[in-house]
Amino acid sequence: MILSVKDLCIGYNKSLVLEDLNFSVDPGDMLTILGPNGVGKTTLLKCINRILTPSKGAVMVEDADVFRMGAGEIAKRLGYVAQKSEAGRMTAFDAILLGRKPYLRWKVSDYDLKVVDSAIRHMGLDHLALRHIDQMSGGELQKVCIARALVQEPTVILLDEPTSSLDLKNQLEIMRTIKHVVKEHNIAAVMTMHDLNMAFRFTDKFLFLKEGKIFHHGICQELKAGIVKDVYDVEVEIITHNGQLVIIPIGTDSLN
């Protein structure tokens, strides 16, 4: 087990948003947190990373309690890719070098530069290394953000809707990239998503949130149409195409 969440309760203004969450993730796992808008997916992700503080419960990374660590120590274990990242006038290399922040002292070491160079090549960003990120496409910028989280050398990478606002080609490319780095480096990824097909195509495990609680948690092959219906109140049919699950909402919505 690389990450375990125990009895986590999260609240705003004395009312609980999420309660009694328990789940764990193993090395090499990709877990997707799913659920309707506003259910608390992003809140949960931020809480795992201690960007938000829970009302009670614990988050353990490799048996160390996140809530007893310093901010720098957390950043060395948990990489975080926010839903929205600002693009300033900075090269991709420098933007990724920023991911070494938890390790940096007064001077950037040769090792820091080598890690960034390696990450750039692993992510296929070689040709863009010295391009300013404010001149990049959404997909390229998202790759830079993932590379920045990877050079933190985390054991778990957290991604908040990594494919939102990307076109289909870029969505597939980003998800392939995430899967590749998770498997290659034997780390774990926990991400939030709205696109069920993209989630079940690329990830191993899913976790549905409903009304502040875990509604269902399991491996992707266990998904049943009834679960989707109960969570989203939408009838779906689940078919298998080339060995992959495809979720199709039932009913016709054609213009005619």
Partner 1 sequence: MSHFDDGRIPPEYSSYIGRKVFFLLLLTGLTIFFFVLSISLGAVRIPAIDVIKAVLGQSQDARFQIIVMNIRLPHALAAFIAGAGLAAAGAAMQSILRNPLGSPFTLGISQAGAFGAAFSVMIIGSGVMQSSQVGAVTISNPYLTTIIAFIFCMLASMVIVAIARLRGATPEVMVLSGVALGSLFGAGTMFLQYFADDVQLAAMVFWTFGDVGRAGWSEIRIMGIVVLLAVLFFIYNRWNYNAIDAGDETARGLGVSVERVRMVGMIVASLVTATVVSFLGIIGFVGLICPHIVRRVIGDDHRFLMPASCLTGGVLLLASDTVARLVLSPHVLPVSILTAFLGAPAFLYLLIRRRIK
Query: Is residue 129 within the footprint of partner 1 (CB under 8 A)?
Result: yes
Q: Give the burial string for 62-99 (b: 16+ CB within 10 Å, else e).
A: eeeebeebeeeebbbbbbbbbeeeebeebebbebbbeb
Closest to partner 1 by CB, 73 or 230 = 73
| Beta-sheet strand order (sheet of 15-25) | 15-25, 3-12, 56-61, 64-65
Q: Which stretch binds partner 1 (CB under 8 A): 11-19, 30-38, 121-129, 165-173?
A: 121-129
Q: Specify whether the backbone of 211 is left (phi greater than 0), alpha (psi in -120 to 50) or beta.
A: left
Beta strands 205-210 and 30-34, pairing class: parallel
- Residue 142 as a binder of partner 1 (CB under 8 A): the answer is no
When the beta carbons of 7 and 62 are compared against partner 1, the nearer one is 62
Among 93, 200, 202, 208, binds partner 1 (CB under 8 A): 93
Residue 25 or residue 214: which is nearer to partner 1 going by CB? Answer: 25
Distances (CA, A) of 224 to 23, 196, 218, 219, 251: 20, 12, 11, 11, 18
Structure tokens belonging to residue 33:
């947190």
Residue 52 CB, nearest approach to partner 1 (Å): 9
Tell me: does residue 113 bind partner 1 (CB under 8 A). Answer: yes
99 touches partner 1 (CB under 8 A): yes
The conformational region for residue 58 under phi > 0 = left, psi -120 to 50 = alpha, else beta, is beta
Binding part of the chain for partner 1, among 100-108, 204-212, 222-230, 243-251 by CB under 8 A, reads 100-108
Stretch that binds partner 1, among 83-91, 199-207, 233-241, 247-255 (CB under 8 A): 83-91
Number of residues that bind partner 1 (CB under 8 A): 56
Supply the minimum distance, in Å, between the C-beta of residue 40 and partner 1.
16
Asked if residue 206 binds partner 1 (CB under 8 A), the reply is no
**216 bridge partner residues:** 208
Return the number of the residue (147 or 214) whose C-beta is nearest partner 1: 147
| CA dist list (Å): 47 to 166, 193, 218 | 26, 17, 21
> Nearest 5 degrees, angle CA 147-CA 152-CA 156?
90
Give the SS3 label for residue 37.
Answer: coil
| Binder of partner 1 out of 39, 44, 66, 95 (CB under 8 A) | 95
Q: How far is CA 167 from the centre of its chain?
A: 18
Footprint of partner 1 (CB under 8 A):
46, 49, 51, 70-75, 78-86, 88-91, 93-95, 98-99, 101-102, 104, 110, 113-119, 121-122, 129-130, 132, 145, 148-153, 155, 158, 181, 184-185, 187
